Structures are given as C-alpha cells and as structure tokens.
Amino acid sequence: MLSALRSEAAFIVATITTAVMYTIGEVWFHDLSNPLVLTGLFAWIFGSMIWSAFAAVRHADGLAELLGEPYGTLILTISVISIEVSVIAAIMLTGEASPTLARDTMLAVLMIVMNGMVGVALLIGGIRYREQAYNLDGARSFLAVLIMLATIALILPRFTTSTDDPSLTSAQAILFSVATVALYGVFLGIQTVRHSGFFLSPELPVSVDNETAHAGHATGSVGFHAVMLVLTLLPIVLLSKKLAILIDTGIAALAAPLALGGVLVALLVLSPEGLAAFRAAAENRLQRAVNICLGSALATIGLTVPAVLAIGLLTDTHVVLGLGGTELVLLVLTLILSMMTFGGAKTNILQGAIHLVLFFVYMVLIFDP
C-alpha cells in the first residue's frame, strides 16, 4: 500500500494542489502585487505540474510497453501534446490577449529540442562513446516532414498578403490545419506500421530495440495505466488556468519579453522527454534519443498548430504564427544544421557543441533582442 502511494505521489500532490487552488487558494489570486506571493504560487504550481507531467509520461510509456506499436507511440504523443495545448489554451484565454503565444511556444519547443536537447544528448554520447550511430532513414523522414510543416506554420504566414500581420485568414487556417494533420497522420503510418524499421537502431535486432525502448515502465495492467494516465493529466489541465494568470502577471511585473511565456510552457512540456533523451544517449541508444527529440518537435508542429488555430477560430482569438526576422533566421539555421547533423551515419561531440551554441544564442536574444 505504501509503495503504491509513493509511486503515485505526483498525482496525489497535484490533486491536493488543484483542490487548494480552486477553493481556499482563490483569494490568493486576487492580489498578486506581492512578489513573494507571486513567486511562491508559481513555484508551487509549476513544480506540481512538472512532477505530474513526469508521472503522466511514465504511465504513457507503460501503456506503450504493454500495447506495443502503433498504439504506444500515439498514446505517448497525445499525452504530451495535450499538456502543451491545455497550457497554451489557458494562457491564450486568460487576461489580455497574447496573439503570439502559440508561435513563441512552438519556436521555443523547436529551439529547446533541436538545439538544447539534441546538443546535450550528442555531447553526452560524444564524450562517453566518441561516435554514435543512428538510423539515417528515420532521421531523414523526421526532418523532411518537420521542414515542410515548420515552413507552413511559422514561415509562410510572414509572407502571406491576405492579412495585415503575420497571421492566417479563416480559410487559410482551416486548409493549412487539415493539410498539417493529414501529413502528420501519413508520417505516423510510416513510423508505426509501414516503415517502422526506419526508426529502430541499425546496430540492434528489431526485437531487442523494441524491448529496450520502453523497458521498465510497465508496473501494472493496461487498465491501471490508462486510468492513471487520465487522472494524472487532469490536474495539469486544471492548473493550467492558474499558471496562466501567474505567467501573465509575472511577465507584466518584470517587464519581461512575451516570448518568455513560450519558453516556460516549452520547459514544462519537454522536461520529462528531455531527461529520457539524455539517459538514452548516455546508454549508447542514440536512436531512442533521436526518436524522442525529433518526434517531440514534429508532434508540436503537427498537432499543436491545428489545435491552436481551431481554438482561435472557435473563440474568435487572434493568432499570429509568422516569425519575426531574427526568429526566422534562427529557425532556418536550426533546420539547416539539423540536416547536416543527421546527414551522416554517425554523430560526435562537435555537432553537439554547435547545437548548444545556437541554443545559447536563442536564449540571449530572448532577453536582449
């Protein structure tokens, strides 16, 4: 009994936090002018949500191990993206309108994943093993779809002329969303059914790689993990509204750049997957790290963009997706470097260092554009 309670401590803490914030804690949000109150509430809620996100990913991995593919990949992807969409939607609909939040969050996800996470993973692997191998066909598939969707979602709106700013018309939003979901669906079919071998390590038999991909996460039945996954995600969704209030208030009080909100959302969503990617690289399973990193980036564009555009259309919320000049350069440079990094048979420490430098440049430009 005690061991079961300890294993689900994240869910218990998040549930208690949610109950407190929606009852006696409501009064705390009426006056957030005190920096100590604002900081304390943010640390409490953000910490609970991150801990709960780790638990949700653990249950999703448990289902992936028990059900196998393609269901495992779909469950894990939908779980992570549901967290991202719920937080973005809460911030979009809370307080003053933030038309660039979705764009800033997606750019932050791409920069953190494809430069920060990839850089650290390659650095860890390069230090420990000098060179690491991965499946070139899988990486090329990821990048081909990612480049296409990133261009449609974040670059093309900057150059369309039907609106006065880098946004989409209703017709464009609907058509681009349908095309994005359709292409992502084709990719999932390739990844999980038709060409699943592209995403397995070239140095391991298929059975071994499949067994190690999710090893050690399943601790109960399919029903147990399914129920706990939903229950663990629920406090995150409910706490998103409270976190949105704190982020809006904090950014205004500190006169911080609006893009910082996107970075915070990205860090919340990506923390569990980031640690999983680093652990895989340290265990010389670079293919697992590649699948996690590039899969996270692709899922963000493939699923978050249509969801955000749908929310904007249904709630009449203005959504700006087109990047500014500086951000556009960073995205294009990231995509070019990624093509070069994953254009050979093996990776090394130099490639990790290059991606980390670009990530450092991105973080500097957020605060000093």
pTM of the model: 0.83
- In 32-184, at which residue ranges do the beta strands (DSSP E only) sit? 132-133
Domain boundaries, the chain: 2-367
Q: Which amino acid, 193?
A: V
Higher pLDDT residue, 170 or 268? 170
pLDDT digits (tens, 9 = 90+) for 129-151: 988 888 888 889 999 999 999 99
Q: What is the pLDDT of residue 358?
A: 96
DSSP letters along 292-360, please?
HHHHHHHHIIIIIHHHHHHHHHHHT---B----HHHHHHHHHHHHHHHHHTTSSEE-HHHHHHHHHHHH
| Range 215-244 burial, b when 16+ CB lie within 10 A, else e | eebbeeeeeebbebbebbbbbbbbbbbbbb
CA 159 to chain centre: 26
Angle at 365 between CA 361 and CA 369, to 5 degrees: 150
Higher pLDDT residue, 202 or 357? 357
Tokens of 317: 């919320």
- In 87-233, at which residue ranges do the beta strands (DSSP E only) sit? 132-133
Interval 335-362 mean pLDDT = 92
pLDDT digits (tens, 9 = 90+) for 205-245: 444 444 444 444 556 778 888 888 888 888 888 888 888 78
β-partners of residue 347 are 132
- Residue 259 predicted with pLDDT over 50: yes
Say if residues 154 and 305 touch (Cβ distance below 8 Å).
Answer: no
pLDDT category at 341 given cuts 50, 70, 90 is: very high
CATH 3.40.50.261 for the 2-367 domain, yes or no: no
Tokens of 86: 């719920």
Using a 10 angstrom Cβ sphere, with 0-12 exposed, 13-18 middle and 19 or more buried, the burial of residue 254 is exposed
